[in-house]
């Protein structure tokens, strides 16, 4: 069974709320380096700021990862 946005998606093996798939989709795109503006367009957000607010915690993780990587490069670690 598949419902519209917000409704459950069920198969014989699993049940995932539609909103969870939407959030996972956006999170994985962000982790893959897709620009927040593009992600926001795909999700139908009214502005970049809306997307940034929803996914700030992921963006912050990516910033820390980037800082750690450049620090490792510069310090030989």
Report the DSSP beta bridge partners of residue 15. 10
Report the DSSP beta bridge partners of residue 65. none
Rounded CA-CA distance 20/62 in Å is 21
Residue 77, SS3? coil
- Could you tell me the pTM of the whole model? 0.63
pLDDT averaged per 10 residues in sequence order, the chain, 77 residues:
53 73 90 92 92 87 90 89
Q: What's the pLDDT score for residue 2?
A: 46
Element (H, E) at 16: strand 15-17
Burial class (CB in 10 A: 0-12, 13-18, 19+), 46: exposed
Q: Where are the domains of the chain?
A: 8-75
């Amino acid at each position: 069974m598949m419902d519209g946005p917000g409704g459950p998606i069920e198969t014989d093996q699993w049940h995932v709320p539609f909103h969870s798939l939407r959030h996972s989709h956006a999170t994985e795109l962000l982790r893959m380096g897709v620009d927040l503006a593009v992600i926001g367009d795909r999700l139908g957000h009214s502005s970049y700021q809306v997307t940034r607010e929803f996914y700030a915690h992921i963006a912050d993780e990516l910033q820390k990862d980037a800082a750690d990587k450049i620090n490792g490069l510069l310090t030989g670690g």
